[in-house]
Amino acid sequence: QVQLVESGGGLVHTGGSLRLSCAASGRTFSTYDMGWFRQAPGKEREFVGFITRSGGFTNYADFVKGRFTISRDNTKNTLYLQMDSLEPDDTAVYYCAVRVSRVTYSNVRDYRYWGQGTQVTVSS
């Protein structure tokens, strides 16, 4: 089992940037594909992006439009989400999770061991 702790959220203005981190416990982080999701008030949790265990492949939701970058440092057991050109619609709680199913990489059901989330608020 792995425990995940997100951090780095906060309040920024439109066009600003934030870098989220997801610290993982245990020694097996490098064996996990990882994902970032977000959930806005009153909405379902949605896929943001995915990265393979080696970091060699990433994939993003269409709404990212080249603004976000996922990376990882397996020596530090840490996953990152660099978010640039933030917009008010990006306001949400952001979560990281471990991908446990190979059916898809964008479905919430394919992930487990969710962190507690970190709040991102973008003001207009």
pLDDT value at 43 more than 80? yes
d(CA 85, CA 66): 10
- List, for residues 44-61, the tens digit of each pLDDT value: 999 999 999 999 999 999
Mean pLDDT of 97-104: 91
Q: Are residues 123 and 16 in contact, defined by beta-carbon separation less than 8 angstroms?
A: no
Mean pLDDT of 106-117: 95
Mean residue pLDDT of the chain comes to 96
- List, for residues 51-96, the tens digit of each pLDDT value: 999 999 999 999 998 999 999 999 999 999 999 999 999 999 999 9
**Size (the chain), residues:** 124
Write the DSSP symbol of residue 9: -
DSSP code per residue over 61-110: -GGGTT-EEEEEETTTTEEEEEE-S--GGG-EEEEEEEE--SS-SS-GGG
